[in-house]
């Protein structure tokens, strides 16, 4: 077995497409959109590289690629929190404990040489990237921007001394055929008492001018709340994030709340398109984008992606205001279920809202951590 760093375009291509070989026949795995991957893993296309140290490794056995891993040191995050933490991500192998161990050891040694004392993962540059290995819900199909590993992977990490750092819960909510009257009363009372304005959209072009204000609010809320793994985005990174997701946004499932003309809350959902991405094998051309669009039109599941409420307006019912609006839009569109995406286990306020709306936990993800003490000089 040999392990080497990704240096050439050929190596990068191998790194990007290796998971589809490892997950061949894995019915619930969903490939990424490969056009996005080519941008994500290249420094000239992804501004995160400008303030992060990175290493991408490929493992070969008899010249055949059999595994990959990425190491990341987010200096902006570490400086903000006075940490010496590195991250591993995008770990993909077959069921081979020796291979997993060697890839992880390689990143551990790289991080140690960089002066880091702790390694967490799987995690990307920020919490907008896939985070945490799946530990429950293996029978469920993956959604976009999530890991969908085999059950043996977390077990192998634990054998190697990795322990739980944080867990994420994913709820599934049934979309009611009729919105209960008390939800309507909550919505009306919140608007009336707080003088809030709910902003809704019908066409994608209507949301263009709101994307930056929403992302600025996300920056403020996530930084102020010390959201796990999050570091503030600069303008260029916001623009990259907006470009990455704009084409798949559906205006009907984006909601904002204004107070005196300023954005104080938002939520973003998209129709689940995982079946279409599977059929397209992650490729948009020549006809993959058609399969993905058809899937988005036929799906019965809405996936929530992002949301936030300005600190001084929390516990005032804005979560219920937006939640009711999303449920109504989902019902009108014929959706049956909603996937809440990742909610931190410790985020009891949001989790309580999901449970009040009838949500049930149907997936769990775990980010692991391990102390990697510096070697004596």
What's the CATH code of the domain at 114?
A: 3.40.630.30
Do 160 and 259 belong together in one domain? no
pLDDT, tens only, 313-330:
988 888 888 988 898 899
Do 214 and 107 belong together in one domain? no
Q: Is the peptide bond before 256 cis (omega within 30 degrees of 0)?
A: no
Is position 362 within any domain?
no
- pTM comes to 0.93
The strand ranges marked E within the chain are: 2-5, 52-61, 64-74, 85-93, 118-121, 133-136, 163-174, 197-199, 254-259, 262-271, 301-309, 337-339, 343-344, 360-371
Number of domains in the chain: 2
pLDDT, tens only, 93-118:
999 999 999 999 999 999 999 999 99
Do 145 and 218 belong together in one domain? no
pLDDT at 314: 87
Do 153 and 182 belong together in one domain? no
Do 153 and 274 belong together in one domain? no
Could you give the count of Cα atoms lying within 13 Å of 49 in the half-sphere of its Cβ?
A: 13
Is position 356 within any domain?
no
Residue 335, pLDDT > 70, answer yes
Do 252 and 182 belong together in one domain? yes
Do 131 and 34 belong together in one domain? yes
Which residue range(s) make up the domain with 254?
A: 176-335
Is position 345 within any domain?
no
């Amino acid at each position: 077995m040999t392990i080497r760093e990704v240096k050439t375009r050929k190596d990068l291509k191998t790194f990007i497409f290796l998971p589809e070989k490892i997950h061949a026949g894995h019915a619930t795995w969903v490939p990424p959109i490969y056009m996005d991957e080519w941008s994500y893993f290249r420094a000239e296309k992804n501004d995160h590289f400008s303030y992060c140290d990175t290493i991408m490794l490929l493992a070969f056995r008899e010249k055949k690629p059999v595994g990959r891993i990425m190491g990341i040191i987010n200096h902006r995050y570490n400086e903000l929190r006075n940490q010496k933490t590195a991250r591993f991500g995008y770990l993909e192998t077959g069921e081979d404990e020796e291979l997993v161990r060697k890839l992880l050891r390689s990143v551990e040694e790289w991080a140690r040489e960089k002066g880091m004392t702790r390694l967490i993962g799987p995690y990307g540059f920020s919490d907008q990237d896939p985070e945490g290995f799946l530990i429950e819900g293996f029978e469920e199909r993956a959604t976009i921007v999530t890991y969908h590993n085999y059950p043996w992977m977390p077990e192998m990490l634990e054998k190697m001394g990795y322990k739980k750092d944080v867990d994420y819960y994913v709820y599934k909510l049934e979309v009611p055929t009729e919105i209960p009257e008390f939800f309507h009363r909550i919505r009306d009372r919140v608007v009336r008492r707080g003088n809030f304005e709910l902003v809704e959209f019908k066409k994608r072009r209507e949301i263009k001018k709101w994307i930056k204000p929403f992302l600025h609010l996300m920056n403020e809320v996530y930084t102020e709340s010390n959201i796990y793994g999050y570091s503030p985005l600069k303008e260029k990174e916001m623009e990259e994030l907006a470009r990455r997701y704009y084409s798949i946004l559906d205006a009907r499932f984006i909601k904002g709340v204004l107070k005196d003309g300023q954005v104080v809350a938002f939520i973003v959902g998209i129709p689940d398109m995982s079946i279409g991405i599977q059929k397209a094998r992650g490729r948009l051309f020549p006809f993959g984008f058609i399969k993905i669009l058809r899937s988005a039109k036929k799906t019965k599941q809405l996936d929530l992606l992002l949301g936030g409420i300005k600190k001084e307006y929390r516990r005032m019912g804005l979560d219920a205001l937006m939640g009711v609006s999303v449920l109504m839009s989902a019902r009108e569109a014929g959706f049956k279920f909603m996937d809440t995406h990742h909610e931190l286990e410790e985020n009891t306020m949001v989790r309580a809202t999901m449970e009040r709306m009838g949500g049930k936990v149907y997936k769990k993800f775990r980010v692991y951590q391990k102390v990697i003490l510096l070697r004596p000089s």
